């Protein structure tokens, strides 16, 4: 039993370091949002293979940033960020003035500019977005700042869903793509 406790300890320590997990119960997708953070611990199987690149707080980039790895930005970026197949994390210290496109965008810091994601955009508490969001799923935590429009792109989502699970039944509560009683 004692050995088991010790083996658990590092895992709890690592989750404790994630910023403000208590906030996430307030949004319907917050619980889902927490594990999507591209920390290696959250996705142990893929995380070992996937490279996560960090851009530190002292780094300033002006121009176009694109790549095929998960990226965490803590510095400043002005221009355009494109990670079509990967997760982009905007760290708490980051200041972004850019058009952002990624598979998933997790925001702890500040973005001024439009954000588009093929999977989801997740603004965590103290995260800030001034711009338009286009994503099939959007989670906004308590304490987050947002100004702009939110477009959930239902049409695209339905197509994606159909490709992924052709015979699957849509979940009534959490699946945004095929809600019951949606206006036409």
Partner 1 sequence: MLSDLLRWGGKRSSQTETTGDAPAPRGEEPVIPSKALPKFLSAIRRQPGPPVLLDFGPVIGANVAFFGERLGCKLFIEDLFADYDKHARGGTLDALAATFPSRLRHEDASVDGVLCWDFFDFLTKPASQLLARQIVRVLRPGGAVMGFFCTSAVPRTAFTKYEVVDETAMRHRYHPGIGGARMPLLNRDIIKMFDSLIVSDSFLLKSNTREILLRRKA
The DSSP letter of residue 168 is: P
The whole-angstrom separation of Cα 28 and Cα 18 is 19
Spatial neighbors of 54 by CB under 8 A, at least 6 apart, are 71, 72, 73, 74
Structure tokens at 153: 């792109």
For position 137 contacting partner 1 by CB under 8 A, the verdict is yes
Distances in whole angstroms, Cα of residue 161 to Cα of each of 57, 60, 116, 126: 37, 38, 18, 31
Binding flags for partner 1, 82-111, as an x/- string (CB under 8 A) = ------------------------------
For position 52 contacting partner 1 by CB under 8 A, the verdict is no
Binding flags for partner 1, 13-42, as an x/- string (CB under 8 A) = -------x-xx-xxxxxx------------
For position 3 contacting partner 1 by CB under 8 A, the verdict is no
Name the residues that contact partner 1, by CB under 8 A: 5, 9, 20, 22-23, 25-30, 125, 137-152, 154, 176, 179, 181-184
């Amino acid at each position: 039993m004692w050995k088991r406790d010790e083996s658990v300890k590092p895992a709890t320590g690592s989750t404790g370091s994630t910023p403000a997990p208590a906030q996430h119960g307030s949004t319907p997708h917050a619980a889902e949002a927490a594990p999507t953070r591209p920390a290696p611990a959250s996705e142990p199987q893929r995380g070992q293979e996937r490279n996560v690149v960090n851009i530190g707080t002292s780094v300033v980039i002006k121009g176009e940033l694109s790549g095929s790895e998960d990226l965490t930005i803590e510095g400043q970026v002005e221009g355009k960020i494109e990670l079509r197949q990967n997760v982009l994390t905007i760290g708490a210290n980051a200041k972004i003035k850019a058009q952002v496109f990624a598979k998933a965008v997790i925001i702890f810091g500040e973005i001024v500019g439009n954000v588009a994601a093929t999977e989801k955009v997740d603004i965590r508490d103290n995260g800030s977005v001034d711009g338009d969001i286009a994503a099939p799923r959007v989670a906004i935590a308590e304490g987050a700042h947002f100004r702009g429009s939110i477009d959930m792109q239902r049409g695209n989502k339905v197509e994606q869903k159909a490709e992924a699970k052709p015979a699957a039944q849509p979940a009534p509560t959490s699946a945004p793509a095929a809600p019951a009683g949606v206006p036409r």
